[in-house]
Structure formats: C-alpha cells, structure tokens
Structure 1
C-alpha cells in the first residue's frame, strides 16, 4: 500500500445565504477544481461554518423547493433543523444527527430552524451534501433515513485517540448507519490533541476532508486549519490524520459514478432531455404537494 497524498487545501470561500437560515461556504462545485465530475459521487458541498443566529419568533430557513436525481445529506454539528418532504419524510435533525433524503424520482422539500432553537437563538453549524445517483436509480422511489447522534454507529480508536462515527460505508469492521446506492464512506472523526487516525481507501476513490473543529496534520506533513477542505490525490490508498488540537473532521470517500452529468438548479440528471422532463414534471405537479 502507498500513501494517498494531498492534492490541494481549499480555504472557505466568501459565505452566501441559502434562504435566510443557512449561511454557507460552497466547496463543491467550485473554482478549486472541485467540479461535479472530479468529486463524484459528491456533487455539492455547502458548509455552514459556526455562526450565531439571534433569537427569532419566525424560524429562518428555505421554503418549498424540488429535487430530482440525487440524495441530500445534512450533518448537524450545532443547532437544530426541522424538515419535511412531499413523500412523507421529515422530522428534526438535532446536534450530532444526520438526515439522508433520497430525492430520486422527485420530491418537494423544505427546511427551517427548529422552532425552539429559533426562539432561543444560538450557534448553528451544518454541512449539506448532494450525493449523485447512478442512472439506473435516478427515477427510483424517494426515501428517507434519519439518525440521531445515538443511532450512528461508532468505532472507538485505540490508545484513547478518539472515535470514528461511521455515517456510511465501513471503518475497520464498523458498518455505517446509512445505506447507499454506490460504494462510499462518510465519517465524522473526533480526535484528541496529538492523536492520530489511519485510513485506507481505493486509489480511484475521490476523497476529501473538511475540518469542522480544530486543526490537523495530514500524513504528518500538511497542516490544515479549521473550516478548510483537503482534496487527496487519486493515487495511493493510505493516509493519516493527526489532531494538532482536539479536532472534528468530516471524511468523504467514494467510487466515482462515471456517467454523464446534466445539472440545472435542483435537478441532476444524465441528459438535457431528462432535465427538460424534470422541469415539466415539476411544473405539472408530479412531485406531490407540500405546504409552504
């Protein structure tokens, strides 16, 4: 096995608001060479770095909007989000929880700060990912997977180094809580100061790290501060993460879906014709109904 080296370290871009409740730095797709094809199956990554929202009687968020052709994954670090979709899925994502929504053939969706969190105000920190679906599954039935912090499978590291929360995939025999359509790994890695964790993924897997808290050394060489994203090369298999201070790192690695991508707004298909069909189906009300 050879070392999977760092290809680039990306600083957070200027933030922008999605709706009025999500202040995000966009990493995928972006001008960092992190386009949808390069990062497949991870085709979008918005990061709401830690941000204080003052108390509000009216919950902030994003109103009803459609999705087709992919999955949305929301990972909550601070704050709470209430969400609903037209297939009947929904609930509250609390701190440490994950919402994995398979839009597939099409849903309407909305997400807002949870009512009590909104009234109290507080720090808010989230990641939202879009995970692409292969052509054969893009028109499958929508489904929903939701996990509280306690429901996510965990692997305790040796030497009291920390813990790997296995959201999807597998880490040293600990299976992920979520089911996926294509091979991918998604972990929250929590390391104590000066502790190290080891990872191994196939060379061809697209692999990235997002430093949520603290700062790290990758392969004992590349220093990465908080809120920065690391892209690893598609060469070699093994790498290490060492925590310079107590740190939390989101680890993403997946087998690329080598199919054409046709994307427009909230629709990600394989051809322009399928995009036109998605827009027509949405306009004709075929994604169901969801009250704003």
Structure 2
C-alpha cells in the first residue's frame, strides 16, 4: 500500500460572496506534479435573484482546467467559440494550450432561481511539448460520464483514464486519470495506482481512512511513491476527487493565469495576450 507523506488542509480563500477553500497551493504544498491548483467552491445556497459565479473573462495559457460541478451549474464561454451550460454531475475540461480567454459564470436560470452550489476546479499542467497546442473545450453532462459501481456501493465517475476496466469520458493529451467517487459509510475499496505515478487525493465531503490515517473533508492527502495500491474505507458518507499521473519532472513557472517552463515564456504570454493573440472577447 502507498504510505502517506503529509496531510494538507485547504485554506479559506473566499472570492466575493463565493465560499472558497484552496487546497493547492498552500503554505505546506506548492503542487503535486502535474497537478497544480485546486479550488473548492461551496457548498453554499444562493438566494433567488443572485449574481452567480464571479469568474468573468480572463486568459489562460500552458495548462488545462478540469471543473467538476457537484451542485449548481456553470455557463462556459471562450474565444475559441465554445459555449455550454453544464449542470450538477457534469464536468468541463478546457485545454488552454497556446491561449484563450474564457468566462465561467452561472446560467441565467440559476441566477434567477438560486439553489445549492458546489464546484471543484483543478488545474493540470501540460508537458512542455504540448503547452502551445491549439485550445479545446469539452463539456459533459452527468449522463455522458461513465459511472462504475463497485462492491459496497462505491460509485466511480470516470472522467479520464481507466477505472475498474472502464475508460473515462475524456481522452486527455497526457496520461492523466481523473474521477470523483461517492463512498457510502462503511464501504471499502482498493484501487491500483503504479508507484511511479503521482496521486491526487482530495476529500470533498465526509471522512475516509486511507493508508492507516484519517482524512476529513477539505483535506488533501500527499502520498509517497512507495506502493501500487490505495486502500480506502469510508468512515462516513464521503465524496473524493481522485487522480493520478506520471510526473513531468519539468520546471514550473506560473504567474497569474499562465503556467509555463521559463520566465521568458511567461513574459511572452503576457505580450501575446495584450496584442490580442488570445482572441477578441465578445460579450
């Protein structure tokens, strides 16, 4: 079994009236190669006639955003011409690549009626060879994502990679496996993950025991590279965000919305954005 290197607690980092906890980076962990960033928005309940999510038009280059909509919805729009509203249980996978501008806001229906909202956004690095690929966007509703039920009622929502013999809905550029899991209290599951791969393990709700330690909601578990299985037991009804990938072992230089390999590439990203290379935003 994998052993635990450290448990990291997400830090409170509200954005306007949006409840937000940042699990990565924090003062105790910078990134888990190639996983760069995780914001946990909510859970909270929006009143009717609300302003919705505050993420208006902004640029990205050099990585991918994977957004898990557990409650509520997100209206995505970008300068690549993509636009969709993804509802609870769905995901958005955006490859920023060479650069684009996008917005992530609530639908008009959600702003009018309100309701519960809980969203996870994970940033996944791109290897140097793929940082300037053409941008792409994939938006999938809940019923478009394979759901695998394991012993004890554990449900694995297979977003990418292979989970219990089932291929995920998205085929990413790099070999990155991502899923979110629902575990009823008392359930147990053992999942294979090769020792060389970095594990991303975040407890969204509830509490679990993994590798002999208890991990609670809003905790990120960092593992050593010393085993090829994860044994998880749900101490209460739990939701996990789980992923794994081979580390890129490349320099990471990030500044604001750009993640590249050198300072010069960051400076070029800003010049390209300012010159309009990321496209023109049409409100």
SS of corresponding position for 1:277:
helix
SS of corresponding position for 2:281:
coil
TM-score with structure 2 setting the length: 0.95
Q: Please, which of 96, 116, 124 is the counterpart of residue 123 of structure 1?
A: 116
Alpha-carbon distance in structure 1 between the residues aligned to 2:107 and 2:175:
32
CA contact (8 A) 2:2 2:224 kept: yes
Say yes or no: does 1:83 pair with 2:83: no
| 2:197 alignment counterpart | 205
Alpha-carbon distance in structure 2 between the residues aligned to 1:12 and 1:267:
22
CA contact (8 A) 1:21 1:112 kept: no
Say yes or no: does 1:13 pair with 2:11: yes
| 1:285 alignment counterpart | 276
Say yes or no: does 1:140 pair with 2:123: no
| 2:249 alignment counterpart | 258
In the comparison of the two structures, how many residue pairs are matched? 283
Alpha-carbon distance in structure 1 between the residues aligned to 2:21 and 2:86:
20
| 1:110 alignment counterpart | 103
- Which range is displaced more, 64-73 or 111-120? 111-120
Gaps of 5+ in 2: none
In 2 relative to 1, CA 65–23 (structure 1 residues): closer, same or farther, beyond 3 Å?
same
| 1:26 alignment counterpart | 22
SS of corresponding position for 1:55:
coil
Alpha-carbon distance in structure 2 between the residues aligned to 1:149 and 1:111:
18
| 1:240 alignment counterpart | 231
| 2:187 alignment counterpart | 195
Say yes or no: does 1:46 pair with 2:42: no
TM-score with structure 1 setting the length: 0.92
Alpha-carbon distance in structure 1 between the residues aligned to 2:175 and 2:51:
40
Alpha-carbon distance in structure 1 between the residues aligned to 2:8 and 2:245:
19
CA apart distance, 1:57: 4.9
The C-alpha deviation readout for 1:74-128, integer Å capped at 9, x for no partner, is 1011111111000011211210100000110110011111211122222211110
Q: Please, which of 51, 59, 62 is the counterpart of residue 66 of structure 1?
A: 59
Alpha-carbon distance in structure 2 between the residues aligned to 1:10 and 1:122:
30
Gaps of 5+ in 1: none
SS of corresponding position for 1:117:
helix
The C-alpha deviation readout for 1:199-220, integer Å capped at 9, x for no partner, is 121212111321222211113x
The C-alpha deviation readout for 1:3-22, integer Å capped at 9, x for no partner, is 101222222212321xx464
Say yes or no: does 1:168 pair with 2:164: no
CA apart distance, 1:161: 2.5
The C-alpha deviation readout for 1:36-70, integer Å capped at 9, x for no partner, is 3xx11111111113122222354442111100111
